[in-house]
Amino acid sequence: MSVLPCAVAAWIFLVGCYGLATSRNLIHAVGCLAVCQSSTYVLLLAVGYRDHGTAPVFSDIAPGSRPLVDPVVQALTLTDVVVGATITALLLALVIQVAKRHGTVNPDELSELRG
C-alpha cells in the first residue's frame, strides 16, 4: 500500500473535521460529517488496491498466475457508502425537525438544548 492514498484520506478527514469544528450551521455540520465519512472510502479502496490486479474470477486461467484485487474490501466500501448515505439522511431529517421546532439551524441559538 502506498503512502499517497493514506495521506489523501487523512487530508480529507482533517478538512471535514475543520469544517465540523468551525461550523455555525447544522446543515453545514452534516455535510462536513459526510466529508469525514468519505475519507474512509479512499482508505478502504487503497487497502484493497493491487497494481495490474483483476477480478478474482478463476474460470479462464489458473489460480495464482495473476495479481487479484480483494473483493471483501470493495464490499466493505460499498457498505460504508450505504451506511454513510443513511446516516446523512437521518441527520438531515433531524435538522429539519430542529428547524421546525426552534426556527433556527444555528447551534449557538439553540439555548433550549443546553443542560
| Residue 8 cell numbers, joined | 489523501
Mean pLDDT of 17-30: 94
Instruction: Please state, for a pLDDT cut of 90, what percent of the chain lies above it.
Output: 55
* Neighbour count for residue 110 (Cβ, 10 Å): 15
Question: pLDDT tens, 33-46?
Answer: 999 999 999 998 88
Q: Where are the alpha helices (DSSP H) in 23-56?
A: 26-48
114 pLDDT above the threshold of 70:
no
Residue reference for cell 478538512: 15
Q: What distance in Å separates the CA atoms of residue 50 and residue 45, rounded to the nearest whole number?
A: 10
115 pLDDT above the threshold of 70:
no
Q: Quick one: pLDDT at residue 99?
A: 92
Q: Quick one: pLDDT at residue 39?
A: 93
Which amino acid is present at 46? A
14 compared with 71, residue with greater pLDDT:
14
Q: What distance in Å separates the CA atoms of residue 31 and residue 20, rounded to the nearest whole number?
A: 8
Q: What distance in Å separates the CA atoms of residue 88 and residue 44, rounded to the nearest whole number?
A: 20
